[in-house]
Amino acid sequence: MQIKVKSMRVRMIGLFVILFTFFVSMVFAQKESKSSIETKIAIETNLESRLKRVLTEITGTEKIITIVNVELINEKKETPTKKKEDDIILPGVPLKESLAEKKVESVMMSALGEDTRTMIKKLSVTIILDKSISAGVMEIVKKVASGLLGIDYQRGDILDVQQMRFQKNLFSWNSLLYPPNIYWIFSVLAALLLSVAISSFLFGPFQRFAKDLVSAASTSAAALKERSSEQSAGFSSNVSLPAEISMPTASRIEKTASGKEPLFSFVNSSNLKELIFLIQNEPSKNIATVINYLSPELSSQILKEIPQDRKREIISTLSKVVEFNATDIEKYESQLKSRIDFLVGGTDKISKIIDTSDEKTQIEILNELNTLDPQLATKIQKSIVHLDILATLDLAGLQLIIKQIGTFTFGQILKNFSNDKQQKVLSVLPAGASIRIKQEMDLGKPLTAQRLEIEKKRLTDIIRRMRDRGII
């Protein structure tokens, strides 16, 4: 009975050893296989990256394909096992060998008692270059690749260098609908919308706001400067420039209740002389009709140019309420408007030309006109505005001019006058104003010749407007 129990125990131990050996062998084989594949991939990737990096430097292009295939072998070196020390053996007693201990020892030795090293059995390398690479560079590539990878043709290594023409990616509109192109499209559209929004803001409400802000700042600065100039120079603060000088001379045209412009609205101070020339020989009724539709200022100027006998008839016609034919009046207005545009020449025209010319041109025109019509030349000579008139103005006139053109500019223009005329102008001004202008003449930065001519012309225009309105 005891023999049977021992036999069953031995069989159970043997079965357990066999199962354990099978399990350990499977785990070790799987581990070894996985380790070999990872090692192979790591070696191939490293060699490919090194080779491509070096060849890119040599060829100067990234159009390179490197393919490395490695065949590995595992060289196993068994570690020596320690000899089992001799057990104490009793004389005459046979040694018992345990089958279970023998199997376990062999399994553990196979799993842990070996040293496995990886070696390259064969190396296959394929290099693909662009067609643009020359033959000389191809030879260098072969030598460098062979030396870098350690190609050994005796063990069966293969190095294959080929050339091909790399194809460019053809453009397709459908590709715009997929990433990353569609991201770029959205980015560009967003940038455009943002630019349009900013532009609309800068050139729209912000532009109007900036203009209003600059205009308000300029007005405030000018008012402050003039106020300080008046206080320091002794100018009278209650003297102001008439609105006729600072405002344009164009007449204000008011529309009638029907929305149309009033009759004879084309007549203004600039073409009034031409109108008088056209209607001076017209019937009194026609002259009265024109005067009826003009402003009182323009009407009075026309009556000044009409002879006394005809003036009586015109006033008599205006004093009566008479109904005229609307068609006849509109037709007469149209005739005058068309005729007035085609009037050429005249004393006023030549006077304006001379007034707006520089001093040299004025002298030339007057000399030519003096040979043709001495009386007209004398008349125009008297009507021309010269800056010398400043020496004949009173305090009020000088204050108006200085306030309009500025103390600095007035001093720079006066600097070009003769000494006696300078003294005449300065003697009229108060002591403080005279000292201030002298400082501008002596210490102020001189104007350039071009700027000085522009300021002289501006001062002449101011004096002319003041003279035409009877202010000076």
Give the tens place of pLDDT for each residue, 422-460.
888 888 888 888 899 888 888 888 888 888 888 888 888
What is the average pLDDT across 233-239?
Answer: 42
Is residue 232 within 8 A of residue 432, CB to CB? The reply is yes
Residue 301 has pLDDT above 60, yes or no: yes
pLDDT one-digit tens code per residue, 341-350:
766 556 666 7
Residue that is written with structure tokens 């040293």 in the block: 115
Residues 6 or more apart whose CB falls under 8 angstroms from that of 264 comprise 290, 293, 294, 333, 336
31 vs 8, higher pLDDT:
8
Q: Is 357 helix (H, G, I), strand (E, B) or coil?
A: coil
pLDDT of residue 458: 86
Q: How far is CA 428 from CA 187, 391, 423, 437, in A?
A: 72, 9, 9, 12
Of residues 25 and 113, which shows the higher confidence score? 25
Comparing C-alpha atoms, which of 384, 433, 432 is closest to residue 410?
433
Express each pLDDT in 215-227 by its tens digit: 666 656 655 655 5
* Domain residue ranges in the chain: 2-75+101-164, 176-233, 264-325, 348-468
Across 45-49, average pLDDT: 88
Q: Is the pLDDT of residue 119 over 60?
A: yes
Distance CA 253, CA 267 (A): 10
Residue 296 makes CB contacts below 8 A (sequence gap 6+) with none
pLDDT for residue 101: 47
Q: What is the pTM of this model?
A: 0.33
Long-range contacts of 347-353 (CB under 8 A, 24+ apart): 347/376, 347/379, 347/380, 348/273, 350/380, 351/380, 351/383, 351/384
- Dist. CA 468–CA 249, nearest whole Å: 11
Distance of CA 412 to the CA centre of its chain: 40
CATH of 2-75+101-164, one of 3.30.300, 3.30.40, 3.30.70, 3.30.2390: 3.30.300
* Higher per-residue confidence, 202 vs 443: 443
- The confidence band for 126, taking pLDDT boundaries of 50, 70 and 90, is very high
**Least confident range of 43-52, 166-175, 366-375:** 166-175
CB 114 within 8 A of CB 79: yes
The gap from C-alpha 114 to its chain's centroid, in whole angstroms, comes to 76
Cβ count near 170 (within 10 Å): 6
| Two structure tokens written together for 214 | 């600059």
User: Is pLDDT above 70 for 402?
Assistant: yes
Burial class of residue 58, CB neighbours in 10 A (0-12, 13-18, 19+): middle
Position 95 scores a pLDDT of 54
Q: Which helix (H) or strand (E) holds 292?
A: helix 284-293
Report the percent of the chain where pLDDT is more than 70.
Answer: 69
The answer on pLDDT for 116 being more than 50 is no
Closest CA to 401 of 464, 309, 452: 464
Residue range 348-468 in CATH 1.10.220.30: yes
- Say which residue, 260 or 133, is predicted with more confidence: 133
